[in-house]
Structure 1
Amino acid sequence: MLSLSLSSLSVLLPILLYAAVATASVQFLKLPLLHSSQHHIQTSLSHYRHHRHRQNLKSPVISGAFAGSGQYFVSLHIGSPPQALLLVADTGSDLIWVKCSACRNCSLHSPRSTFFPRHSSSFYPHHCFQRTCRNLAPPPQPNPCNRTKLHSPCRYEYPYADGSLTSGFFSQEIITFNTTTSQQLQLKHFNFGCGFHNSGPSVTGESFNGANGVMGLGRGPISFSSQLGRRFGNKFSYCLMDYTLSPTPTSFLVIGSEQNDVVGVNSKINFTALLVNPLSPTFYYIGIKSVYLNDVKLPIHPSVWSIDELGNGGTIIDSGTTLTLLAAPAYREILAAFKRQVKLPSPAEPIQGFDLCVNISGTSRPSYPKLSFELVGGSVLRPPQGNYFIETSELVECLAMQPINQESGPSVIGNLMQQGFLFEFDRDRSRLGFSHHGCAIR
């Protein structure tokens, strides 16, 4: 979910939360992800801008077609006693927030639908005089406090690009993880937003079904990966397995380094630099050099992929957006190339939201041109065709790409395009690793 409002096709992937111990000296948090079999065109949740004994966290990603949402969820246990809530896992925003209720008699609220601060003995709202509150909104964003409000609770407002908004109190809690050894791991002083007012399609609409909040995994200091990075290593990774398989393979989000799991994968992992955009510091930018279809380079000018002096453009990796969204000049070239080479008939009725759809009733295994992205540093991302042609209705498949709907917004590699790959976000080395061989052993 970008900090920009972007339209995308979503598939629900809740993440169940576990902590596991790999060795005596290396611990990790491993979170399972859940995925929905239902499709929805949805708004992405991008935030509007603008050591050897190190422990690690790991959890699986499992298919869950119960809510019909279209996002990846994390089951986070918050408070004392712990309250379990499902949060959208989002590399395109920083804030962790949950729906909160101030009710005294909560009989009208179903369990796990919201977080009840009154039911937690460890809930603590930050106050304006605290540095944590002042760091909540780095420049150029407005500070939520002024000198007359130093002893007031620290309020936050976090907007998304489509006008959606969450607001409430920036707070502190204890989060709890269940380990594979039937023990509990608790992390104290966890900062999050207790959202009492949430509005807009990104955080209340159909695409948000089943979610109780958002887990921001961005590069900012208040994100989940940044807060846990201080304890579990400044690195995280995930695998998003093919949700069309039955039974759906388990996927995982890992906070920290999981050395044992990448043995044998290191030689096959590719790296590209994570670029920095000072005007949009939340996002994980990568550099695209060229796009190929059946190994033929498409005539897309390199400037289409670059970040300009105003911080516009570029390309980001985002787990909270499902479709791949491209700058209009690039999208037009890719769409035209696919239309020239795909010879299957069109469906009887157009499919809303897609510019290229085909009727596959006459073939048992449709074949599409091979798409590849050449990245900065020389590595090449070659997604399988199921990552960019998806079934939208019975016997109809569509190109899972759209043009970005903001002229200045970044292009987005969405979670469908990421399926079947291990992606490793190495923040200390500022690089993104990816491998088509790293998920099967998880």
Structure 2
Amino acid sequence: MAMHAAMTTTLLPLALLLVSVVIMSGASASSPSSPSSLRFHYIDPRNFTMAAATLFSSSSSSSRPDGRPSLALLHRDAVSGRTYPSTRHAMLGLAARDGARVEYLQRRLSPTTMTTEVGSEVVSGISEGSGEYFVRVGVGSPPTEQYLVVDSGSDVIWIQCRPCAECYQQADPLFDPAASASFTAVPCDSGVCRTLPGGSSGCADSGACRYQVSYGDGSYTQGVLAMETLTFGDSTPVQGVAIGCGHRNRGLFVGAAGLLGLGWGPMSLVGQLGGAAGGAFSYCLASRGADAGAGSLVFGRDDAMPVGAVWVPLLRNAQQPSFYYVGLTGLGVGGERLPLQDGLFDLTEDGGGGVVMDTGTAVTRLPPDAYAALRDAFASTIGGDLPRAPGVSLLDTCYDLSGYASVRVPTVALYFGRDGAALTLPARNLLVEMGGGVYCLAFAASASGLSILGNIQQQGIQITVDSANGYVGFGPSTC
């Protein structure tokens, strides 16, 4: 803990007022299957050193030299292989999924409508499906590999199982518990069953513990809870992990067999690993696009804590303890801190407000006053140098860069804690391509007091979550 405390005031070097954005010639700005054609070059390259991306195959997972299990973390486009008529079509689909996810979080984390995952209301879904990032995990003995959606805001781990009364289509064969020597149903009167968020939904006729998990986009899973063995690549199998074996499941999870919950609760994988993982994991989110490389998900604490990272305290919402909140205290644009009302990002005693980190949300949401100040400062710094473009979906600050070889945009900084530790975001985490040379600021106003740090702002930054000691680290390296 002392090491963490010493690092809370460590700052990433602040980037200069403006960064240079270069559009590579010969790249198709509207190619739906390629990542953004923007390439970012900083005036002072010492501020952000862009490490070469490490590419993994879709089934890649391994054990690191230090013995910690590591998984390739894949964006949904890389898993589904889906192509879109245009970049705009792809981004409109993302916006639709994003809206459903945010509505779910706002409803679940609102003090007036607090609900748990288990037994919560199933609402109308959307056709685009669920989940933004996936991993490949071996389930059972012998292990059968399955794609699982990664969700930092969920606790229950579950997969679709045979026999299946209602199942959606997945990429791999359905898991057959009868073929696994390590599958053991959990009795409904056991302590594990009572640990389910919100309590168990009851007992099956066999006496096994039943569970039900519902998500805000209309997806849900129902089945029995079981103890099973999970294998991460060539790492040592982890025995006795409580997972849901879903016999009734609805949702388009882009071919995934289920979900890997990484929340702060006791039923998540991190919570169940306990001392084996030290209550810690780190991840790096891959960029969007079907041909983008993979990110990584590593369980356990690195003995050599990264020096130079921005370490900030994690905050826990007593009303919804599964989510990871961070103590955001301010915003900056172009090296200048914005004059915002004190307490604008505070987590209240009744569980309202606050800033939650979420891998399932793409665009960062801010309270309306904070977003307006950020948007206006960003646009004011650019001035009339760049032509504006009409807003696209929820993104209202857009520019037509189709005729430019390079442009300059202001930096955006996030300030945390009392000491004001600052994380300055790379330009690639600020602007997203909407097609036709149009780029939009990837922030939006929240419909409530809740703020969400989305995955566009997290992409390419090594993030370490140490729930045992109550800290999260950003950087210092990119990935």
TM class by shorter chain equals 0.7 to 0.9
**Where does structure 1 lack aligned partners over 5 or more consecutive residues?**
1-10, 51-66
1:284 aligns with 2:324: yes
Q: What secondary structure does 1:233 align onto?
A: coil
Tell me the C-alpha RMSD between the 2 structures. Answer: 3.1
Change (3 A) 1:256 1:346: same
Change (3 A) 1:144 1:110: closer
Change (3 A) 1:237 1:71: same
1:22-33 equivalences under 5 Å are 22=65, 26-33=66-73
Q: What secondary structure does 1:230 align onto?
A: helix
Q: CA deviation at 1:197?
A: 2.6
State the one-letter code of the partner of 2:298. Answer: V
- 2:372 equivalent in structure 1: 332
Q: 2:195 aligns with which of 135, 138, 153?
A: 135
1:400-419 equivalences under 5 Å are 400-405=442-447, 407=448, 410-419=450-459
**Where does structure 2 lack aligned partners over 5 or more consecutive residues?**
1-33, 36-55, 79-89, 109-114, 117-127
Q: CA deviation at 1:242?
A: 4.3
1:237 aligns with 2:282: yes
Change (3 A) 1:70 1:339: farther
Change (3 A) 1:397 1:436: farther
Q: CA deviation at 1:124?
A: 2.2
State the one-letter code of the partner of 2:442. Answer: A
Q: CA deviation at 1:292?
A: 0.8
- 1:253 equivalent in structure 2: 297
- 1:155 equivalent in structure 2: 210
Q: What secondary structure does 2:196 align onto?
A: coil
Q: CA deviation at 1:68?
A: 9.8
- 1:58 equivalent in structure 2: none
Change (3 A) 1:103 1:297: closer
Q: Kindly indicate whether structure 1 or structure 2 has the higher relative contact order, using CA contacts under 8 Å at least 6 residues apart.
A: 2
- 2:405 equivalent in structure 1: 364
Change (3 A) 1:435 1:350: closer
Q: 2:426 aligns with which of 366, 380, 384?
A: 384
Task: Tell me, in whole angstroms, the C-alpha distance in 2 between the residues paired with 1:82 and 1:305.
Answer: 44
1:18 aligns with 2:61: yes
Judge conservation of contact 2:331–2:413 (CA < 8 Å) in 1: yes
Percent identical across equivalent pairs? Answer: 31
1:215 aligns with 2:256: no
Judge conservation of contact 2:284–2:461 (CA < 8 Å) in 1: yes
1:169-188 equivalences under 5 Å are 169-179=224-234, 185-188=236-239
Q: CA deviation at 1:92?
A: 1.4
Q: CA deviation at 1:372?
A: 0.5
State the one-letter code of the partner of 1:352. Answer: S
Change (3 A) 1:350 1:109: closer
1:75 aligns with 2:117: no
Q: What secondary structure does 1:267 align onto?
A: coil
Q: 1:373 aligns with which of 395, 409, 414?
A: 414
- 1:87 equivalent in structure 2: 148
- 1:425 equivalent in structure 2: 465
- 1:54 equivalent in structure 2: none
Q: CA deviation at 1:145?
A: 3.4
Judge conservation of contact 1:15–1:73 (CA < 8 Å) in 2: no
Q: CA deviation at 1:421?
A: 1.4
Please list the CA deviations of residues 205-259 of structure 1 after superposition, one character each: whole Å capped at 9, or x if unmatched. 4xx3232221111100000111123323221111224457x97454211101234
Task: Tell me, in whole angstroms, the C-alpha distance in 2 between the residues paired with 1:330 and 1:109.
Answer: 41
Q: What secondary structure does 2:455 align onto?
A: coil
- How many residues are aligned here? 385
Change (3 A) 1:16 1:283: farther
Q: What secondary structure does 1:366 align onto?
A: strand
Task: Tell me, in whole angstroms, the C-alpha distance in 1 between the residues paired with 2:463 and 2:58.
Answer: 16
- 1:123 equivalent in structure 2: 183
Change (3 A) 1:311 1:111: closer
Per the normalisation by structure 1, the TM-score is 0.78
